Chain A
Amino acid sequence: MSEITVERLAVAIPEVRKRKLPGRIISRITLIVLSIAFLFPFYWMVATSLKSPVEMRASPPTLWPHELVWQNYADAVTAVPFWTFFRNTVIITIFTVIGSVISNPLIAYGFSRIKWPGRDKVFYLVLATVFVPFPVLIVALFDIFANLGWVNTFLPLVVPFFFGQAFWIFLMRQFLLQIPQEIADAARIDGASELQIFFRVIMPLALPAVGVVGLFAALFAWNDFLGPLIYLQGVEKYTLAVGLTFFRSQHDVQFNLLMAASTLVMLPVVAMFFLFQRTLVEGITLGSIK
């Protein structure tokens, strides 16, 4: 039960016993209908983003734009300070990823590759912290960061990630536990220090898991809303999430432009999804194993 990996999910498909044709057709139709239902909102986003203001007023709305107005994209990025928001989001995302891929492997190493008294009890504490809802902390965190003079900077959004996140520590630890002990022992006999073992022996083997943590961190930072909403107060500091929401409520942004901006926000995520789909799936299934 504990070794379910994506490889097995993928390999399981070809060597199957023959199934009756009608059953396969029903499966296929069900999957196609479900896929269309789940992707349709995004089709609607793209279609709307290309409609002219005149066509936006059509009733009933047209399913496909008669005329593709690419100008909407140029208008969307000038109607709001899009590239400022974009740059801010990229900076926060990069530092969130850096902090996460440094801290979580180190911490997880301490919870898996070194045996010390009380280790597993402390790890239970790590797991328990997952159950503290973040909104509970926002009043205190804001006050603490305000006293440090960090409000309206990226620091409150980025710095905590340099100290590990419970769930990502858990993911890394799951992975590190699977690496045989003998590999490190050999290096230890050769007189390598624990840090050398960490960097030269274990980390190269754990790169897939580091990738998972980095991806999750990037997705989190790119999609986060509550954090930036609380800590960022000047428009010039806004991320895409907070900036676009702000402009929509303040300036009654047109639907087609809003959809164009939404498409642009989603493009990097979709690109990452297609590049790293396997890693993402692996990470999600890794988290489900007890």
Chain B
Amino acid sequence: MVAGTETPKRGRLKLGKTERANLRLGLLFISPWIVGFVAFLAYPLYYTLRISFTRFSGFGEATWIGFSNYERMLTDDLFWKSLGNTLYYSALAVPIGVVVALVLALAMNQRLREVSTYRGALFLPSVLPLFAVSFIFIALMDPIRGIFNQILGVVGIPAINWFADPRYAKLALVILAQLGAGQVALIFLAGLKGIPLTLYEAAEIDGAGAWTKFWNITLPLMTPIILYDIILGLSLGLQAFTQAYVIGAGPAGSVGNPANSTLFYVLYLYLNAFRYSQMGYAAALGWVLFILTFLLALLVFRWARSWVHYETV
């Protein structure tokens, strides 16, 4: 300890006078962040970890129980159910979201006089409150009073009882999620605008059609932005809560309806923490979510090495 203090001290002395003044000034400006980081992130994260090894109702003393909360997950059917629901939802919502956003971006990129009007129309739904959009979908997809099934009926799809049938409730939430695609589409659009026209002109000289140009120029150059969106979408998908809470709400304050098919991971965490007074178990669920998000992101990054195009133009 004593010997160790020598090195940083010498390192600090190397700083010049202005450097030291700048360090002080810089830290002063970022000091709100330092306080916030410690108080609202680092400490709560550590505190969550500590609670996760205890039995704690939220009041009184916490009892140390070691890894019991983590072991409990292995045999907890609802844990697996909620994890499965969330992974199923993300596995559909994320890739579909990428395709929808890409289609929107390509459409928004058309050279039409009134294109900014369409951009606005496609972007607006993504900034509206999710809880209220969830209300709309309850009314829209209601088998009797809604009109969604009537529209599907025009193309020959039989009526579906969206929010009463466990097979379709998550699918309905995947459809709902697509209303948010406009925001991602704008990010994609900025990417499309960044592709030099000369590349397309060169391809045209070689006789390339629209599809070839899209497949060989547009898509490869868009892959870094697509990867960014997959990572972001995955993280948000695993955290999905509001739409499941609002739409899966049933009589007497029950959630996850029908038949726990909309019991998402964070919803189950919320129930344990704030309804069942299982703060310790909820904390453990939180840390598992953290690790899971991290591992899945890592997995996507590794997988992306085989398809992301990193050459700069």
Chain A residues with CB under 8 Å of chain B are: 1, 4, 8-10, 12-13, 16, 19, 24, 27-28, 30-32, 34-35, 38-39, 41-42, 44-45, 48, 56-57, 59-61, 63, 103, 106-107, 109-111, 114-119, 122, 125-126, 129, 131-144, 146, 160, 162-164, 169, 194, 198, 219, 222-223, 225-226, 229-230, 240-241, 244-245, 248-250, 255, 258-259, 262, 265-266, 269-270, 273, 277, 280-281, 284-285, 287-290
Contact = CB atoms under 8 A, between A and B. Distances in A.
Given A42-B136, A137-B41, A225-B242, A169 B33 contact: yes
B156 interface: no
Given A4-B193, A219-B127, A266-B132, A31 B44 contact: no
A133 B145 contact: no
A133 B136 CA distance: 27
B32 interface: yes
Nearest to A164: B33
A194 B312 CA distance: 37
A45 B25 CA distance: 52
B77 to A, nearest CB: 21
Contacts of B127: 219, 269, 273, 280
B67 interface: no
B280 to A, nearest CB: 9
Contact of B128 (A63, A245, A266): A266
Interface in B170-189: 179, 182-183, 186-187, 189
A240 B26 CA distance: 40
Nearest to B133: A41
A222 B129 CA distance: 7
B35 A163 contact: yes
A169 to B, nearest CB: 7
Given A27-B107, A34-B107, A44 B125 contact: no
Nearest to A262: B132
A139 B48 contact: yes
8 contacts: A30-B107, A136-B286, A137-B45, A164-B32, A219-B127, A269-B128, A270-B124, A285-B189
B23 A162 contact: no
A16 B111 CA distance: 7
A28 B37 CA distance: 48
A162 B187 CA distance: 28
Contacts of A169: 33
Interface in B238-257: 238-239, 241-242, 245-246, 249-251, 253
Given A31-B112, A131-B235, A138-B270, A41 B125 contact: yes
Given A103-B36, A162-B36, A285-B186, 16 more contacts: A13-B115, A27-B110, A28-B110, A48-B145, A110-B26, A111-B30, A116-B27, A129-B37, A140-B47, A163-B36, A241-B132, A248-B135, A255-B138, A281-B119, A284-B183, A288-B190
A289 B193 CA distance: 12
Interface string B114-127: 01101111111101
A10 B116 CA distance: 8
Chain A interface SS verdict (over half): helix
Contacts of A287: 187
Interface stretch (B87-95, B160-168, B290-298): B290-298
B139 A143 contact: no
B140 interface: yes
List 8 tightest A-B contacts by C-beta distance, closest first: A163-B36, A110-B29, A116-B26, A140-B44, A110-B30, A35-B121, A223-B129, A288-B187
A1 B313 contact: yes
B142 A110 contact: no
A30 B283 CA distance: 48
Chain B interface SS verdict (over half): helix
A245 B286 contact: no
Of A103, A129, A288, the most chain B CB neighbours within 10 A belong to A288
B193 A8 contact: yes
B104 A9 contact: no
A61 B145 contact: yes
Contacts of A245: 131, 245-246, 249
B147 interface: yes
B34 to A, nearest CB: 9
A218 to B, nearest CB: 10
Given A38-B182, A115-B22, A9 B113 contact: no
A128 B119 CA distance: 32
Contacts of A56: 145
A118 B228 CA distance: 26
Nearest to A47: B147
Given A9-B190, A225-B241, A114 B121 contact: no
A133 B235 contact: yes
Nearest to B228: A288
Interface string B28-55: 1110110111011101110110010000
B147 A39 contact: no
B273 A38 contact: no
A231 to B, nearest CB: 10
A241 B129 contact: yes
A139 B145 contact: no
A229 B47 CA distance: 21
B23 A27 contact: no
